[in-house]
Structure 1
Amino acid sequence: MIRKVKPQIRVVGFDDGTFSFSSKLGRGKTVLIGVVMKGSQEVVGVLSRWITVDGRDATDAMIDAVLSSRFKDLRVILLRGITYGGFNIVDVERIYRETDLPVVVVVRKKPDLKAMESALRKHFPDAEERIELLRGAPPLFEILPGKLYLQAVGVDERTAEEIVRVTTKTGLIPEPLRLAHMIASAVMTGESTRE
């Protein structure tokens, strides 16, 4: 339980690498990067795993990365949305249950769930299971109108908002997520892309 969000709170932020259309067709892999930081100031370490594009292994990869890491003082897991590597949908509740760490999901653009469900039904034989994960995600709440939304498990909305504020250095995205995005894109393309 997080009673007070300290400026040096230990968090890990996960983001995935880019992938090509051909890797989507061939169920290729993309990298999943977790950046471990003290607040927004100091990088403590980096975790990495490979996940299947449009697969079902992102949840397991995150849980394994956290539980098998040497970083035993983590307090929060930050996610950049709940879909990784295309439609590799994360089970946020399961991550919370199995790691015993609160999960805060940061989203820049409100997702179009109807369009996502339609795409899933069109392209995936296990669409209903994936849709269940989408629908089972925590409710989205807006913290900056039209610009930033959060979902949280294991902490209340106010605490989740404070965690995001403390871990953000510049812009809207927490620093661990911003760096994870840059590292993951560099691994996949040879050069980091803009946040």
Structure 2
Amino acid sequence: MIRKVKREVRVIGFDDGTFRWKARGERVILVGVVMKGSVDVLGVVTRWITIDGLDVTDAIIDAVLSSRFKDLRVILLKGITYAGFNIVDVHRVFRETGLPVVVVIRKKPNIQAMEEALKKHFDDYEVRISLLRKSGKLVELVPGKLYYQAVGLTEEVAREVIEITRKNSLIPEALRLAHMIASAVMTGESKRE
């Protein structure tokens, strides 16, 4: 458990690559950037996940547990939906890695609209809706611009982790870099954060 967040806190931030014009069942890269605070990049891990699959949770757990980075303190996620509706089970990630999870979201999600889309397009919508609903309380950090969810640590500590790991952006630097790297791998050029 994290009691005091140090400036050099070691985090891993995950984001996926752009996948426009790809069909359900195809694969997209998932990138995890390991950082010390908001300045030092210590490394990068990658996995491939399935568009609209249910394999992102396993990919994150495997990337963390099989990496050489054994001193990680927090897992940062850029939302809980990856590669379309490949939804992270944040509680399982916390339970199996032993690391708290902070989900950072730029735009407040419309859960009702997401649930309706899941019901319309997926036979296993009940499983996916369950993952959405159990992801934790949504907390507003920057009014109308930044939200977060915390699993395995208090809201206050999660807020401190976000603040310490940001550099020149609203989101933590590890998430910003993961987004840029994943986009570059998928499209040949990085996209804006």
Q: Same fold (TM over 0.5)?
A: yes
Task: Indicate whether 1:16 and 2:16 are aligned.
Answer: yes
- Separation of aligned partners in 2, 1:56 and 1:153: 20
Give the partner amino acid of 2:88. Answer: V
The 5 Å alignment of 1:115-130 reads 115-130=113-128
Task: Indicate whether 1:65 and 2:66 are aligned.
Answer: no
The DSSP-based 3-state class of the residue aligned with 1:44 is: strand
Deviations 1:125-181 (CA, angstroms, capped at 9, x unpaired): 000110010011111011111111010001101100000000000120100000000
The DSSP-based 3-state class of the residue aligned with 2:5 is: coil
- Separation of aligned partners in 1, 2:91 and 2:47: 20
Aligned-pair identity (%): 68
**Residue from 149, 152, 156 that aligns with 1:151:** 149
In structure 1, what is the equivalent of residue 140 of structure 2? 142
In structure 1, what is the equivalent of residue 159 of structure 2? 161
Give the partner amino acid of 1:11. Answer: V
- Separation of aligned partners in 2, 1:52 and 1:71: 25
In structure 1, what is the equivalent of residue 176 of structure 2? 178
In structure 1, what is the equivalent of residue 187 of structure 2? 189
The DSSP-based 3-state class of the residue aligned with 1:24 is: coil
Task: Indicate whether 1:93 and 2:78 are aligned.
Answer: no
State the 1:66 CA deviation: 0.1
- Separation of aligned partners in 2, 1:164 and 1:129: 29
- Separation of aligned partners in 2, 1:147 and 1:24: 30
- Separation of aligned partners in 1, 2:39 and 2:162: 13
In structure 1, what is the equivalent of residue 2 of structure 2? 2
- Separation of aligned partners in 1, 2:140 and 2:18: 27
The DSSP-based 3-state class of the residue aligned with 2:45 is: strand
Runs of 4+ in structure 1 over 2 Å off: none
**Bigger mean CA deviation after superposition, 56-65 or 141-150:** 141-150
State the 1:24 CA deviation: 2.7
Deviations 1:74-102 (CA, angstroms, capped at 9, x unpaired): 00000000000000000000000000000
State the 1:56 CA deviation: 0.3
In structure 1, what is the equivalent of residue 101 of structure 2? 103
Q: With the length of structure 1 as denominator, give the TM-score of the two structures.
A: 0.98
The DSSP-based 3-state class of the residue aligned with 1:60 is: helix
The unaligned stretches of length 5 or more in structure 2 are: none
- Separation of aligned partners in 2, 1:24 and 1:128: 22
- Separation of aligned partners in 2, 1:143 and 1:117: 24
